[in-house]
Amino acid sequence: MKFSKKRKQRLFSFLQVLLIFILTISISGYFSFFGVEPHHHGIMLKPAFDMNHGLMLFRDTFTQYGALTTILQFWALHIFGNYLIVINLLTALFYGLSIIFLWLSWSLFLPQIITTFACLIWLFLAPYFLPDYFFLPWSSVYSLFFQSVTLYAFLKYLQSKKNAWQVLAGIAAALTFWARQPVGMFMICSIGIFIVILKIKKYKILNLLPFFVSYIFVHAIFFLWLFANKALGDWWYQTIRFPFLWAQSLSKSVIPLSQIGRNLLPNPIPTANPVLSLWAVLPFIITYMGYILLVTKDKSKQQVMLLFGILISLASWLQYHPVPDIRHLYWAATPMIGFVIYFIWQF
Cα 339 to the center of its chain, rounded Å? 15
Taking only the tens of pLDDT, the chain with its 347 residues reads: 566 777 888 888 999 999 999 999 999 999 999 989 888 899 999 999 999 999 999 999 999 888 999 999 999 999 999 999 999 999 999 999 999 999 999 999 999 999 999 999 999 999 999 888 999 999 999 999 999 999 999 999 999 999 999 999 999 999 999 999 999 999 999 999 998 888 755 556 678 899 999 999 999 999 999 999 999 999 999 998 887 777 666 655 555 566 666 777 776 444 455 455 788 899 999 999 999 999 888 889 999 999 999 999 999 998 888 777 889 999 999 999 999 999 999 87
State residue 271's pLDDT score: 46
State residue 39's pLDDT score: 87
57 beta partners:
61
State residue 6's pLDDT score: 78
- pTM for the full model? 0.93
State residue 129's pLDDT score: 94
Exposed (0-12), middle (13-18) or buried (19+): which is 81, by Cβ within 10 Å?
Answer: exposed
As a whole number of angstroms, the distance between CA 294 and CA 307 comes to: 8
State residue 270's pLDDT score: 46
As a whole number of angstroms, the distance between CA 130 and CA 185 comes to: 30
As a whole number of angstroms, the distance between CA 95 and CA 21 comes to: 8
Q: Residue ranges of the alpha helices (H) in 53-111? A: 67-80, 84-106
> Which residues have a Cβ under 8 Å from the Cβ of 342 and sit 6 or more positions away?
106, 109, 110, 306
State residue 340's pLDDT score: 96
